[in-house]
Amino acid sequence: MIFAFRDLAFAWPGGPEVFTGVDLTLGPGDRLAILGGNGSGKTTLGRCLGGRLEGRGTVTCDGRDWRTLGRAERVAAVQCVAQRPHLQLSGRAFTVREEIAFGPENLGLPPAAIADRVDEAMALLDLAALAHRDCRRLSGGETQRVVLAGALAMRPGLLILDEPMTDLDAETRDRLAGHLGALSARMAVVVLDIGCFDWMAGLIGRFRILDAGSLGAPLTGEELRTAPLPPAILLPDAGPAP
Burial class (CB in 10 A: 0-12, 13-18, 19+), 3: buried
Give 113 or 217: the residue with its C-beta nearer to another protein: 113
Q: How far is the CB of 67 from another protein (least distance, A)?
A: 16
DSSP secondary-structure letter at 116? H
The minimum distance between CB 39 and another protein, in angstroms, equals 14
Closer to another protein by CB, 1 or 227: give it.
1
Least distance in angstroms from the C-beta of 47 to another protein: 8
- The CB density around residue 169, as the number of other CB atoms within 10 Å, is 12
| Best CA proximity match to 79, nearest among 5, 8, 176, 157 | 157
Nearer to another protein (CB atom), residue 147 or residue 210: 147
Rounded Cα gap, residues 150 and 27, in angstroms: 21
- Nearest distance, CB of residue 80 and another protein, angstroms: 6
∠ Cα 61 62 68 (to 5°)? 50
Quote the least distance from Cβ 105 to another protein, whole Å: 5
Sheet with strand 56-61: strands edge to edge = 17-26, 3-11, 56-61, 64-65
- Residues forming contacts to another protein in the complex (CB under 8 A) are 12-13, 47, 50, 52, 70-72, 74-76, 79-80, 82, 84, 87-94, 97-98, 101-111, 114-115, 118, 136, 150-151, 154
Name which of 151 and 229 has its Cβ closer to another protein.
Answer: 151
